[in-house]
A and B are shown apart, each in its own frame.
Chain A
Amino acid sequence: MTSAFIIDVQSKLEPDFEEMNHTLLKIVASAALGTIPTGVDASFPKWDGPDSTIVHVEAILYSSLSASLLAAFVAMLGKQWLNRYASVEHGSVVDRGRQRKRKMDGMVTWRFGLVMECLPLMLQAALLLLGYALSNYLFFINKAIASVIMGFTTFGLLFYLLVVLAATLSYNCPFQTPLSLLFRLLIRFDNKHKGYLKRSKRWSGHVFSQMKGRWQRPKSHGLCGLGRFGTFGLGSPGDYIELGVTGLSDQAPPIFNKKTNWDDHGLDLSSVTWMFEMSTDMDVATAIAGFIPQIVCTDTQTIPLERLYDTVLKCFDRSSGHPILKPAYRDKAYLCAKALLHMGVQCKYVGDKSENSMFRSISSRHQTMGSKSYKGDSDLESTLGMIDCVFGDLKPRYWQNQQSLSFTIPHYTWMAHILLYRAWDVLGKGKPLPDDIRGFILHSLQLKPPPPVPILADCLFIASLTLGTKMHPDDLLVVDKR
């Protein structure tokens, strides 16, 4: 439609030879009739270039056309991007899950949604420009017709402005547009989102640091690894450019020749935490909590520690003032408590500043969970007891009667692994070895028959940490340290 108007207006940019011929014929005819034309009629037609209004209108029409074409171009690109996003990758379920998460993170990091939001904006701009150009043009030709166009254009513009205003005033208004969000960002209007400018500043800082962190991971405790820079692709060699970033100079070289893929661990973490946060069904959340002890914590920003703690709390009856485990929630309590502990201990190990506020918040409302005997369920008893140690800073009661403890092998293996992290954290801060870790080691040494060797290897690593032996963080991740 814009093109049709452009073609129509285009003719106004050239001299009107028909008009000129008509004037000349009038002069010739007058001369033939012996009438001498005077004034304007006597002058020869002369073209002084197109009218400025026509040039203005034509320029706006071209702008509108360009905006429409650009929108079409971006829409096609968007289609390509979505095709790539929807493409199915090869590999195991875990690999595909990681790949999917990586793509999704990429979309979030690179503001795919914002780019897509620009499409309607461009089309809206094109329509506005067309309305304006038409009004201007028709006003030049015929004011009555122009008034119709001007009326509709003004109505449309006013409607849009009203919608934007409404959306800006109310966050709950369904007519949200990018413009309204932008206004809200700028004027910090909504009470709920007060300090939005500061938040946006923080957010942009966070995005920047995230991207920076992605290139320089791991970051805390001098976690040593190779920095990665480049696109987040399929993990194929071509996708990465590895930077020779070495660890701290006083860090011991790794014992095991197993290079840690921090990107994969980061993806696993964000996938599981995303699923946990998205799930509204308690059973689903519990099932997801069951996955958590298998992941490695690389970043404290995304860890739903408080929500996990709340989930654990829901398994207890607190009406009497003291938490009593509801029998029906026994399994759920165990899985969620284990997930909480796993995340909490690793979160401390990663040592981000944000951990402090989270831990303070949980510690302030923590009530002893592990003091009750759980009818021979040593796994549950020890897990809740460790939560008391980590979040409540209490003495481990569950080691008091070691003879009665009987752990399942998977739980015992997990305990060894997580206590190693805890030992790293506590001893690294110059504190003495906690009693629960000491109790665990001594218990492991007394067991007949002895526990599996990987557990004893973890004990050796803890003992090594107590002596201040330098250790590489990658070594902690190795499950079987033989």
Chain B
Amino acid sequence: MCYLLHEAKPSCHSHGADLLSSRIYEKLAQLFRNPIPTIDEIDYAILALRVISHLSEDGIALLSGNDVAQESYCLFHLVMQAPVSLAYPQDKKWEAARLTMHVAYKWDKSLPWVKDPQDILIFLDHHFDSDTFHLAIIGGQDLDEPIQNALHALAYASGPTAIKALEHFNPTEPSFVRGICHVFKDDHPLQLRKAALFFLALISDKWFNTLQPIMGPDQMKTFCLDWASVVDAIEHTHDVQKAIIAVLFGMINSHHWRPYIVTEKWKLLEYFTSVPDDSLPLRRSIDNPELMDVIRNMGNPATVVLWLAILWLKYKELVPQVQEQLERVTKEVAQGRNRMELDMCLSTMDSELEKAKDTLTWYDMQPTDPGAATLWTKIKNLQEARASFITLRRG
């Protein structure tokens, strides 16, 4: 992997300080590429990084965000890959990494696109490490910020390549799990907790879809409470809904986690439309025959209806056992006192049908597009599901 700073070179500079910072980054890149730097050189590099980091603060804004953030991101990789030596010991390395990460991902307005998350994950893992925590406490150092910056990078600036690379990462290592649980605590800044919420959505499959639980029952309970607390604290934008439902599907599909989901949070299933059709947690959940009984046994009719609505949307794609369960339960509800609530299933299907048709108009110019074919299939499935639902409801 070779990160070239010229890739990150800004096209133009509006300020003298920006031009100078660009020259500084070039020098820093040379320095961290040098396998045998001197102690002074490393000290000066860290001093320069401290100054740049300070000048990138929002209140000062001497350096324009985009260019510096991009250059800092490239430098971060060089810092991480530079071999540790007597002149460049571990503590200096992590300080340099923290500073570059800070400049790159401190501010949401200019987040460099993560091309390779490996270094960031190593950085994150290091900061979750108990020894690092211990040293930070002794040194009066605040580790929230570097963790937050790393989570910002992974959660907000990861493209398909980075997400694919995440698949090779094992987030269930005890120190990593402990770190993630720790940042969800409500004594941490909300921005950090929010970033953690988004990051959790990326690794939810590896966390929740395990044969053995990755933590003890008490920890799971605490974690679910913390997660619910974050969910309550932030505004539910579309992206937040997507992250919430991804985690929630992961939790409800896991018999280890399911008992610890905060009861009120089941209603978050209402965000099911935010999740993509090909979402793995969704797929696993709707194919899980245990779930219908579990949800019915919770004694919350609204949740049952929500679950029915989710299943009816995917009616044609369900495994026969679940399909049969769905028809049975729908029939029961239709004959019960809460039959009016089934209207929700119908309206959801109508709404999804409408949405699919609207989207299809985009493909009118290219009817042979695979996306169009998928949509045609979805519309057809929804129409058939709708017809089946109406038949069942009439009894």
Contacts and interface: CB of A to CB of B under 8 A. Distances in A.
Contact of B20 (A432, A460, A468): A460
A482 interface: yes
B367 to A, nearest CB: 56
Interface stretch (A321-329, A357-365, A449-457): A449-457
Interface stretch (B39-47, B77-85, B205-213): B39-47
A467 B27 contact: yes
A469 interface: yes
B24 A464 contact: yes
B44 A482 contact: no
A441 interface: yes
Given A445-B54, A453-B60, A468-B27, A255 B48 contact: no
Given A433-B44, A450-B54, A469 B62 contact: no
Given A457-B17, A482-B15, A467 B51 contact: no
B57 A450 contact: yes
B61 to A, nearest CB: 9
A469 B51 contact: no
B255 interface: no
B20 A438 contact: no
Interface in B244-287: none
Interface string B124-167: 00000000000000000000000000000000000000000000
A392 to B, nearest CB: 23
Contacts of B52: 460, 463
A412 to B, nearest CB: 15
A469 B60 contact: no
Given A456-B55, A460-B55, A450 B60 contact: yes
Contact of A481 (B17, B23, B47, B60): B17
Contact of B50 (A445, A449, A468, A482): A445
A210 B59 CA distance: 48
B16 A255 contact: yes
A482 B60 contact: no
Contacts of B41: 467
Contact of B62 (A256, A460, A468, A478): A460
Interface string A45-75: 0000000000000000000000000000000
Given A438-B47, A445-B50, A450-B54, A464 B20 contact: yes
A255 B23 CA distance: 11
A461 interface: yes
A461 B54 contact: no
B231 interface: no
Interface string B30-72: 0100000000110011011011101101011010000000000
Interface of A: 252, 255-256, 432-433, 438, 441-442, 445, 449-450, 453, 456-457, 459-461, 463-464, 466-470, 475, 478, 481-482
> Closest 3 CB pairs between A and B?
A466-B44, A463-B48, A467-B27
Interface of B: 15-17, 19-21, 23-24, 27-28, 31, 40-41, 44-45, 47-48, 50-52, 54-55, 57, 59-60, 62
